[in-house]
C-alpha cells in the first residue's frame, strides 16, 4: 500500500463513507428481511402444526382398524415428533430475534449517529492540520524570496525556524492520518465482527437443533419403516377370522322340507371358545321351586323331537325355521369373574343358545340385552317359550290338521287329567305353580321337552270330541 499521506487519507475517508453509505443501510435492510424471515418461519411452524394435527387424526382413525392399528400408532408418533421439532424451531427463532434482529435494529440507529460524528471530527482535524502545514510552507517561501537579496544572513535563522515548524507539522499530519486510517479500518472491522459473531451463535443453535432432530428421527425411523415394510401383512387374529369365514358351509339339499332336517345343528357354523375344563356345579337352589319338573338337558335331540311334533307344511319358508334359535330364561344370577369365556347375567335374563349341545353341564349362548357371548351353567336356566303377543316368524304357521281319533287321544298342553278309575281318592296337587314362562309343558302329567324352536304355542292344542252338537256347552 502507498505511504503517501494523501492516499492514506483517501483510504480513511472511503472507509468511513463505506460504513455510513453501505454497511449501515445494509443493516437496516437486514433487519427488515430478518423480520420477514421470522414471520415466514412462524407461518411455516403454524402450518406444520396444523398439518401434523391432521396426520395425528388420521392415525387415530387407523388405530381403530384391526389391520392398520400399528400404522395408526406410527402416524401419531410421527406427528408428535415433528410437532416437537417445530417447537424447538420456534425457540431458536425467538433467540434469533432477541440476539440478532433486535440488536442490529438498536445498534444501527446508534451507529449512524456515531459514524457521522466521527467522520466529521476526522475531517475537521485533518483540515486544521493541513491548513497549518500549508501556512508554514507559505511562510518559508516568503523568507526564501527575501533572503535572495543583500541581507541573506539576516533571514537565515528565520528560515531554519520555519523549516523546523514545517517538519514538526508534517510529522504531526502523517501521524494523524495514520491514526485516523487505523481507527477507521478498525471501526469497519468491529462492525463486521459483530455481525459474524451473532450469526455464528445463530448457526450454532441451528446446528444443535438439527442434531437433536436427527437424533429424535433416527431413534424412531427404523421402527416406523418396519411397520410399513410389508403392506400385505395381516395380524394373526384377523387372519383367523378370515379363515373362519372361508370355511365352507354345509348346504347339501335335503329331500324333505321337514323342520327337523333344517335344525340349528345343520346350519350353525359358530365356533365357540372351548368350554371350561371343570364340570359345571349344580346350584343347590336349582330344584327348590321346580320339584315337580324333572330337569332334562337341552340337547339337539330334544329340539328335533319338538320339530317332529311341529312339522310345518311345505308352503312355510324353511329360512324362517333356520333363523330360529332356542332360548332359555335364567333363574339365578351368574358372575363370570376374570374368565372371558364365561357369561355373566342376572336373574330373569333371556339367553339365545348358539350351541344347543350341553357340554359337562355348560351351555354356550348370547345374552339378549347386551349381546355378549359365553359359557354358563345349564342348571342356572330353564327353557323359555316366546309369548303369544310377539310377532315371531313361526306364529303365523297354521296348526297341522289331524283326524278326530288323534284329537280324542291327545289332551291340551298344560292340563292334568284325573286318574282313569275316577275314584274318590284325592289326587296330590303340585305344591307350587311356576309361571308359564319358566315351566316346561306337561303332557298328561309327564315331563315333555320344551318347544325351543319358536313355533306356534297353540299349534298342539286339541279339543276332545263332544257328545252333543251344542258347541256352547262342551262335555269334557
User: Mind giving me the DSSP string for 196-219?
Assistant: HHHHHHHHHHHHHHHHHHHHHHHH
| Most trustworthy range by pLDDT among 255-264, 276-285, 400-409 | 276-285
Whether the predicted pLDDT of 45 surpasses 70: yes
429's grid cell: 296337587
Backbone angles phi, psi at 381, to 5 degrees: -145, 170
For residue 64, pLDDT beyond 90: no
Candidate from 20-34, 162-176, 414-428 with smallest mean pLDDT? 414-428
pLDDT value at residue 57: 92
Q: Examine the pLDDT at 312 and tell me if it is beyond 80.
A: no
What's the pLDDT tens digit per position in 73-94?
999 999 999 999 999 999 999 9
Helix (H) or strand (E) holding 17: helix 5-18
Rounded CA gap, 399 and 311, in Å?
9
CA dist., res. 166 & res. 129, Å (int)? 11
Q: How confident is the model at residue 399 (pLDDT cuts 50, 70, 90)?
A: very low
Of 15-24, 129-138, 168-177, 314-323, where does mean pLDDT reach its minimum? 314-323
CB atoms within 10 A of CB 382: 23
Q: Would you say residue 197 has pLDDT above 90?
A: yes
Cell of 439: 315351566
Q: Taking Cα atoms as reference points, which of 282, 256, 414, 280 lies closest to residue 342?
A: 280
Are the C-beta atoms of residues 188 and 20 closer than 8 Å to each other?
Answer: no
pLDDT on residue 137: 86
For residue 29, pLDDT over 90 is answered with yes
- Per-residue confidence (pLDDT) for residue 437, from 0 to 100: 46
Residue 55 has pLDDT above 90, yes or no: yes
What angle is formed at CA 290 by the lines to CA 287 and CA 294, rounded to 5 degrees? 80
Q: Which of 116-120, 131-135, 225-229, 323-327 has the lowest mean pLDDT?
A: 323-327
Side-chain half-sphere exposure of 283, counting CA atoms within 13 A: 20
Neighbouring C-beta atoms of residue 70, cutoff 10 Å = 17
Separation of alpha carbons 93 and 95, rounded Å: 5
Identify whether the C-beta of residue 429 lies closer than 8 Å to the C-beta of residue 418: no
Task: Assign 419 a pLDDT band (cuts: 50, 70, 90).
Answer: very low
Helix (H, G, I), strand (E, B) or coil at 25: helix
Whether residue 230 is predicted with pLDDT greater than 90 in this model: the reply is no
User: What residues have CB less than 8 Å from 28, skipping those under 6 apart?
Assistant: 108
More confident residue, 336 or 434: 336
Is the pLDDT assigned to residue 122 strictly greater than 70? yes
pLDDT of the residue at 257 = 47
Strand partners, 442: 447
pLDDT for residue 305: 47
Least confidently predicted of 103-117, 219-233, 387-401:
387-401
Confidence of residue 416 (pLDDT cuts 50, 70, 90): very low
In contact, 72 and 61? CB cutoff 8 Å: yes
Lowest mean pLDDT among 48-62, 79-93, 299-313: 299-313
Q: What is the pLDDT of residue 322?
A: 45
At residue 342, does pLDDT exceed 80?
A: yes
Neighbouring-strand partners of residue 330: 381
> What proportion of the chain, given as a percentage, has pLDDT over 90?
29
Per DSSP, which regions of 260-377 are E strands? Answer: 327-330, 350-359, 362-367, 373-377
Q: How confident is the model at residue 444 (pLDDT cuts 50, 70, 90)?
A: very low
Instruction: Report the pLDDT averaged over residues 375-397.
Output: 70
**Please, which pLDDT band fits residue 431 given cuts at 50, 70 and 90?**
very low
Q: Would the pLDDT of 377 be above 60? A: yes
How many angstroms from the chain centroid is the CA of residue 251?
43
Quick one: pLDDT at residue 287? 54
Mean pLDDT of 339-348: 89
Angle 102-147/5-18 helices, nearest 10 degrees? 160
Residue 41 has pLDDT above 90, yes or no: yes
* pLDDT single digits (tens) 163-180: 888 888 889 888 998 999
In this prediction, residue 139 carries a pLDDT of 83
Q: Rounded to an integer, what distance in angstroms lies between the CA atom of residue 350 and that of residue 384?
A: 8
Look at residue 215 and tell me whether its pLDDT is greater than 80.
yes
Residue 152: the pLDDT is: 64
More confident residue, 127 or 319: 127
The overall average pLDDT reported for the chain is 74
CA–CA separation, 335 and 315 (whole Å): 44
Q: Which residue has the higher pLDDT, 1 or 351?
A: 351
Nearest residue to 462 (alpha-carbon basis) of 426, 410, 423, 427:
410
For 292, phi then psi, to 5°, come to -85, 0
The closest alpha carbon to 158, from 136, 173, 175, 132, belongs to: 136
How does residue 53 score in pLDDT terms, banded at 50, 70 and 90? Answer: very high
- Confidence tier at 51 by pLDDT (50, 70, 90): very high
With 0-12 / 13-18 / 19 or more C-beta atoms within 10 angstroms meaning exposed / middle / buried, residue 40 is exposed
pTM of the predicted protein model: 0.45
**How confident is residue 149, by pLDDT bands cut at 50, 70 and 90?**
low
CA dist., res. 439 & res. 290, Å (int): 8
Contact 361, 282 (CB under 8 A): yes
Cα–Cα dist 272/375, whole Å: 9
Amino acid at each position: 500500500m502507498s505511504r503517501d499521506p494523501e492516499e492514506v487519507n483517501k483510504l480513511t475517508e472511503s472507509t468511513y463513507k463505506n460504513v455510513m453509505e453501505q454497511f449501515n443501510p445494509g443493516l437496516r435492510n437486514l433487519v427488515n428481511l430478518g423480520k420477514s424471515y421470522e414471520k415466514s418461519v412462524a407461518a411455516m411452524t403454524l402450518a406444520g402444526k396444523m398439518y401434523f394435527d391432521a396426520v395425528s387424526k388420521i392415525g387415530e382413525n387407523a388405530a381403530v382398524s384391526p389391520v392398520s392399528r400399528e400404522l395408526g400408532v406410527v402416524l401419531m408418533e410421527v406427528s408428535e415428533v415433528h410437532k416437537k421439532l417445530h417447537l424447538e424451531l420456534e425457540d431458536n427463532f425467538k433467540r434469533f430475534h432477541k440476539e440478532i434482529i433486535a440488536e442490529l435494529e438498536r445498534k444501527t440507529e446508534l451507529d449512524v449517529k456515531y459514524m457521522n460524528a466521527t467522520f466529521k471530527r476526522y475531517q475537521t482535524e485533518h483540515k486544521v492540520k493541513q491548513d497549518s502545514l500549508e501556512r508554514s510552507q507559505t511562510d518559508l517561501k516568503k523568507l526564501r524570496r527575501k533572503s535572495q537579496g543583500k541581507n541573506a544572513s539576516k533571514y537565515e535563522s528565520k528560515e531554519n525556524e520555519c523549516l523546523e515548524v514545517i517538519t514538526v507539522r508534517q510529522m504531526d499530519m502523517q501521524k494523524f492520518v495514520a491514526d485516523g486510517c487505523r481507527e477507521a479500518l478498525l471501526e469497519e472491522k468491529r462492525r463486521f465482527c459483530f455481525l459474524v459473531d451473532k450469526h455464528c451463535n445463530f448457526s450454532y443453535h441451528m446446528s444443535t437443533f438439527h442434531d437433536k432432530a436427527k437424533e429424535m428421527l433416527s431413534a424412531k425411523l427404523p421402527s416406523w419403516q418396519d411397520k410399513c415394510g410389508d403392506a400385505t401383512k395381516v395380524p394373526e387374529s384377523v387372519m383367523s377370522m378370515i379363515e373362519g369365514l372361508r370355511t365352507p358351509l354345509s348346504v347339501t339339499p335335503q329331500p324333505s322340507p321337514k323342520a327337523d332336517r333344517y335344525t340349528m345343528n345343520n346350519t350353525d357354523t359358530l365356533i365357540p371358545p372351548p368350554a371350561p375344563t371343570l364340570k359345571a356345579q349344580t346350584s343347590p337352589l336349582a330344584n327348590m321351586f321346580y320339584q315337580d319338573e324333572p330337569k332334562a338337558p337341552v340337547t339337539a335331540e330334544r329340539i328335533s323331537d319338538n320339530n317332529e311334533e311341529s312339522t310345518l307344511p311345505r308352503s312355510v319358508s324353511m329360512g324362517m325355521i333356520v333363523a330360529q334359535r332356542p332360548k332359555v330364561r335364567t333363574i339365578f344370577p351368574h358372575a363370570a369373574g376374570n374368565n372371558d369365556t364365561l357369561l355373566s347375567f342376572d336373574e330373569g335374563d333371556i339367553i339365545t343358545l348358539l350351541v344347543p349341545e350341553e357340554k359337562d353341564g355348560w351351555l354356550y349362548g348370547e345374552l339378549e340385552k347386551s349381546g355378549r357371548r359365553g359359557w354358563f351353567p345349564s342348571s342356572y336356566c330353564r327353557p323359555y317359550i316366546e309369548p303369544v303377543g310377539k310377532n315371531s316368524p313361526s306364529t303365523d304357521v297354521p296348526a297341522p290338521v289331524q283326524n278326530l281319533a288323534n284329537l280324542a287321544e291327545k289332551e291340551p298342553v298344560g292340563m292334568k287329567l284325573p286318574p282313569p278309575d275316577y275314584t274318590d281318592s284325592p289326587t296330590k296337587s303340585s305344591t307350587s305353580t311356576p309361571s308359564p314362562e319358566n315351566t316346561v309343558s306337561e303332557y298328561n302329567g309327564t315331563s315333555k321337552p320344551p318347544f325351543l324352536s319358536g313355533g306356534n304355542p297353540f299349534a298342539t292344542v286339541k279339543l276332545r270330541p263332544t257328545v252333543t252338537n251344542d258347541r256352547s256347552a262342551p262335555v269334557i
